[in-house]
Structure 1
Amino acid sequence: MCAMARPRKPLLSRDLIVGTAGALVDAEGLAALSTRRLAAELGVSGPSLYNHFRTKDEILDAVADAVSAKIDLSMFEETDGRDWRTALHDWAVSYRAALADHPHIVPVLAQGPGRRPAGLRVADAVFGAMVRAGWPAAQATSIGALMRYFVTGSALGSFARGFVDDETAYDPADYPHLGQAHLLAEHRQKVDERAFETGLRALLDGLLVQHEAQVRRAGTPDGSASDSSANAER
């Protein structure tokens, strides 16, 4: 009996479609993705994509969720041992790193998780960890939102890249304090990472002050909020 010949091209699958779409978005941006272009990249007919996804938006959702799945959530596990502030810090660093690797998909992620499983796991992990740390539910929700605003905002653009590397571009007569601004682009990664870390620490220090006040109001050693104090925060 003759063995069946292997197909010349990989069988079309959701993972293959998402991986190819993600690579296309990474290389050329969101505007480059269309079902026609994606089908051409995969070497298939356009309608064959609809056996796996109904619309281009569903494909984009899946690409965004694949990025969310790269975010480390281990620090929020009950057995991990990190305090809530350290956990938030380490998670935010991992979150930003995932977005920095795929900056063109950030506008999709910034819209929120919707029905995306990995995105929902991220939201669930953050909320659950904050509630366990003694934050009232409403405050835990606000912290999750705040962190998303901060991290996605930091990934949407580069402060340093916003300045040209031409030392003649910023006349000291007009901009007396921008004499070194042309050097920022050259040190973009260092400048942007330092800015992110500065902002993150300031944000977390502010939350720590609020949390300590919450603990005092709750009057419990571990900071677990009583029903009355939790309701007062809503």
Structure 2
Amino acid sequence: MARPRTPLLNRDRIVAAALALVDAEGLEAVSTRRLAAALGVSGPSLYNHVATKDELIDAVVDAVLGEVDLSMFPDPDWRAALAAWARSYRAALAAHPRIVPALAQSRGHRPNALRLADAVFGGLVSAGWPRREATRVGALMRYFITGSALGSFAASFPADATVYAADYPHLSEAHLLAERQQEIDESAFTTGLEALLDGLELRLTRCR
């Protein structure tokens, strides 16, 4: 039998299949057996492209980070650039929320993560931020963005009004939050982002 012109299996296909599993069922769903079944191959053939599960998860995380727009850097208007980047970063994580916990566990080389860090740091420095401060700002923004993507504030409140009546008098309308989940979560992110940027403008003034 002639060999197929296009390989049946490659690293990109494996990463895409793993990301689909994570999106559907979470990080725990990723296994050699599940991936092999999804790709229609034998389990051992996966190891020709990805050596360990940790390496695979790193690759999946990096694929998601590759969706973040970095085209706004460099820009002398660092505030506008940082805001546009933050929204793009959050959108990428919101599209794949179950991958967010793995962001905190970097075990290997993530090229897109390094490109992201390089673009943000370089953009801030070129706009006038001291290098030490630019490092802190990059870390701060990552904490804020990933934290906002971990879950929904609005969705954490039960929709049953009787839950709050007796013991939580200040939450008398909390049962209405769930039905406005997207609006509340988006506006909370915008409020936080604007507050951070306002504070950073003051900090940069003091640094100069």
TM-score (structure 1 length as normaliser):
0.84
Q: Of 170, 192, 197, which aligns to 1:177?
A: 170
1:111, distance to aligned residue in structure 2 (A): 3.4
Describe how 1:173-212 pairs up with structure 2 within 5 A: 173-212=166-205
Counterpart check, 1:69 vs 2:104: no
Moved over 4 A (4+): 3-7
CA RMSD in angstroms, aligned pairs only:
1.9
One-letter amino acid of the counterpart of residue 207, structure 2: Q
1:113, distance to aligned residue in structure 2 (A): 8.4
1:164, distance to aligned residue in structure 2 (A): 1.0
Give, in whole Å, the separation in 1 of the partners of 2:144 and 2:32: 32
Q: Of 139, 143, 157, which aligns to 2:151?
A: 157
How many pairs were matched up? Answer: 208
Q: Of 85, 88, 104, which aligns to 2:82?
A: 88
Alpha carbons 2:55, 2:108 under 8 Å: kept = no
One-letter amino acid of the counterpart of residue 141, structure 1: T
Gap runs ≥5 in structure 2: none
Give, in whole Å, the separation in 2 of the partners of 1:117 and 1:10: 24
One-letter amino acid of the counterpart of residue 206, structure 2: A
Give, in whole Å, the separation in 2 of the partners of 1:122 and 1:85: 17
Q: Of 17, 24, 29, which aligns to 1:27?
A: 24
Alpha carbons 1:106, 1:152 under 8 Å: kept = yes
Alpha carbons 1:71, 1:91 under 8 Å: kept = yes
- Name 1:36's counterpart in structure 2: 33
Give, in whole Å, the separation in 1 of the partners of 2:111 and 2:169: 50
One-letter amino acid of the counterpart of residue 171, structure 2: L
Map Cα deviations across residues 172-227 of structure 1 (whole Å, 9 max, x no partner). x3111111101111111110000000000000100001112223xxxxxxxxxxxx
One-letter amino acid of the counterpart of residue 50, structure 1: Y
Give, in whole Å, the separation in 2 of the partners of 1:207 and 1:114: 31
TM-score (structure 2 length as normaliser):
0.94
Identity fraction in percent: 65
- SS of aligned partner of 1:121: helix
Q: Against the structure 1 CA distance between its residues 43 and 96, is the aligned structure 2 distance closer, same or farther, given a 3 Å change threshold?
A: same
Map Cα deviations across residues 141-184 of structure 1 (whole Å, 9 max, x no partner). 1001000000000000110011011121112x311111110111
One-letter amino acid of the counterpart of residue 84, structure 1: W
One-letter amino acid of the counterpart of residue 67, structure 2: K
Alpha carbons 1:110, 1:152 under 8 Å: kept = no
Counterpart check, 1:60 vs 2:25: no
One-letter amino acid of the counterpart of residue 20, structure 1: A
Alpha carbons 2:36, 2:46 under 8 Å: kept = yes
1:27, distance to aligned residue in structure 2 (A): 0.3
1:110, distance to aligned residue in structure 2 (A): 3.0
Counterpart check, 1:213 vs 2:201: no
- SS of aligned partner of 2:163: coil
- Name 2:160's counterpart in structure 1: 166
